[in-house]
A = this chain, B = another copy of it.
């Protein structure tokens, strides 16, 4: 689930987004919040993609959480433009987004961390995300140590927090028979959202 209670519905593509979201929700879309985030690591000249869970849209900020020492953080620092992609197979709709990413303000990250499950926080605290480790049982041991260290479980560590991206481009893609797909684009040109249809 994505918290859309504070989404800015005066932004036209956000209305389309909310409508598709509702349709997918009605079809019980699994992992509706899963979004692929693709980043470019300038020093390696390498693109990487991974799924994250989108947690909120607040005004025009699209927010997920991450370890700040992870590979993706390094990519975001070197190149702040990202591509994001939803695919809801229950309604065969793909939503392609381009935006610019930055760290969410600390107060918001603190608040979010305080309200998470203890178990999730223990993992956020104990894991050096994406670093090599000898075995999965070492992961579990580190996790248990953090979980037992109860007094720190709701205190957000500096190395964990939100990322916000602000989209400047959307494509809403509806899959249809024989590839007669319907595609509608919204993009910011001269500070205004404009829209047009593109070919399948």
The listed residue (B34, B132, B183) touching A87 by CB distance below 8 A is B34
Q: Is the CB of B47 within 8 A of A200?
A: no
With contact pairs A49-B49, A132-B196 given, residues A139 and B83 touching in the complex (Cβ less than 8 Å): no
Tell me if A198 is interfacial: C-beta within 8 Å of chain B: yes
Contact A38 B47 (CB under 8 A): yes
* Per-position 1/0 for A94-138, Cβ under 8 A of B: 101010000000000000000001011011100111111111100
Q: Are A123 and B179 in contact (CB under 8 A)?
A: yes
Q: Are A133 and B178 in contact (CB under 8 A)?
A: no
Q: Is A153 an interface residue (CB 8 A)?
A: no
Q: Chain A: interface residue count, which band?
A: 35 or more
Q: Which residues on B sit within 8 Å (CB–CB) of A34?
A: 87, 89
Contact across chains for B130 and A47 when beta carbons are under 8 A apart? no
Which A positions have Cβ atoms within 8 angstroms of B?
30-31, 34, 36, 38-40, 45-51, 79, 81-85, 87, 89, 92, 94, 96, 98, 117, 119-120, 122-124, 127-136, 139-140, 143, 177-180, 182-183, 196-200
Q: Which residue of B lies closest to A182 (CB)?
A: B136
Given known pairs A131-B198, A133-B199, A180-B140, the reply for A49 and B31 (CB within 8 Å) is: no
For this complex, 23 residue pairs linking A to B, each with C-beta atoms less than 8 Å apart, are A31-B89, A38-B38, A38-B47, A38-B49, A40-B40, A40-B47, A46-B83, A47-B98, A48-B96, A49-B83, A49-B85, A50-B85, A51-B87, A87-B87, A120-B178, A122-B178, A123-B178, A124-B179, A131-B198, A132-B196, A132-B198, A139-B200, A140-B180
With contacts A85-B36, A89-B30 known, is A128 near B47, CB below 8 A? no
Is B46 a contact partner of A96 (Cβ separation < 8 A)?
A: no
Docked Cα-Cα span, A85 to B47, in Å, equals 12
How far is B143's CA from A133's CA once the two chains are assembled, in angstroms?
A: 54
Shortest Cβ distance from A84 into chain B, in angstroms? 7
